[in-house]
Amino acid sequence: MTEIAFRTFKEVNLAGGTVIEAIPSVGLVSTIAATYMITTLPTDQVCAIDSDEFPPLSMVYAFKPKFPVRIYAMADTKLAIFIAEVPLPPRVHRALALELLKWATAHHCRQIVSLEGLPLPAADPPKDIEVWGVGSTDSARKTLETAGIRQLETGMVSGVSGVLLNEGRWQFYDVITLLAEAQPAIPDANAAARLLETVDILLPEVKLDLQPLKEQAKALEFHLKQLRDEARPAISDTSAGMFR
């Protein structure tokens, strides 16, 4: 079994709260959305996650090195944000999902919300980007229904988000996956903004101003494309094809 280490920087009370899970997905919508939340909300890094199976990378921000997989939190709104800034090899997805679920339950969080992208079949983006939801339990599906989020009747959710849905059903724990239609070939900040609009509805306690994201979409897409290209040599041996 793959060993995953959660390195705690500080303890935080998240009882009754939510964990947002974001790993690079179609159009990098999950990464864009989580990064925007982390940088615009008063979050604090509380944990770093590491494994021998992760790409050997350090992310440098404001002169400081950071693990590429981290957890941020806001104690007042009981919100945690799990973000992986680089693709992780599929062989670690199951172990990582199980450890994240353990972390969420140990902190008495009421639910996990996974952010994902759903690849568009056409090259031209639609005028109205659709967001779909999947819930692991009856209560999670009721939450989606109450929020007016359209539920996916048939389909497939892969990776960490898929494992979380299955384990959530098995353990009677609420897991919700939100999937935004996105362009698979480029970082899609517009789809990420639509995804965050849905998060804003689902989690009214989290107040998000999405106008800056919409205004800076093109610049952010370019920045993430550069970051992806720079990281590719370090992850090519372990994560081939994972920029999806």
Dump pLDDT digits (tens) for 116-129.
999 987 666 667 88
Can you give the pLDDT at residue 60?
92
**pLDDT of 228 over the 90 cut:** no
Q: What is the mean pLDDT of the chain?
A: 90
Can you give the pLDDT at residue 85?
92
Dump pLDDT digits (tens) for 129-146.
899 999 999 999 999 999
Beta pairing, strands 174-182 & 111-119 = parallel
221 three-class SS: helix
Report how far residue 71's alpha carbon sits from residue 9's, in angstroms, rounded to the nearest whole number.
Answer: 10
Report how far residue 190's alpha carbon sits from residue 33's, in angstroms, rounded to the nearest whole number.
Answer: 10
Dump pLDDT digits (tens) for 149-158.
999 999 999 9
Report how far residue 153's alpha carbon sits from residue 170's, in angstroms, rounded to the nearest whole number.
Answer: 19
Report how far residue 97's alpha carbon sits from residue 1's, in angstroms, rounded to the nearest whole number.
Answer: 13
Dump pLDDT digits (tens) for 18-48.
999 999 999 889 999 999 999 999 999 999 9
Residues sharing a CB contact under 8 Å with residue 72, sequence separation 6 or more, in sequence order: 38, 43, 44, 45, 46, 80, 81, 83
pLDDT band at 210 (very low <50, low <70, confident <90, very high): confident
Q: Which domains does the chain have, with CATH numbers?
A: 14-231 (3.40.50.10900)
Dump pLDDT digits (tens) for 54-99.
999 999 988 999 999 999 999 999 999 999 999 999 999 999 999 9
Can you give the pLDDT at residue 235?
60
What proportions of the chain, in percent to the nearest 5, are helix, strand and coil?
A: 40, 25, 40
Report how far residue 119's alpha carbon sits from residue 126's, in angstroms, rounded to the nearest whole number.
Answer: 12
Q: What pTM does this model have?
A: 0.89
List strands edge to edge, sheet with 18-22.
5-8, 44-50, 69-74, 79-84, 18-22, 111-119, 174-182, 131-135
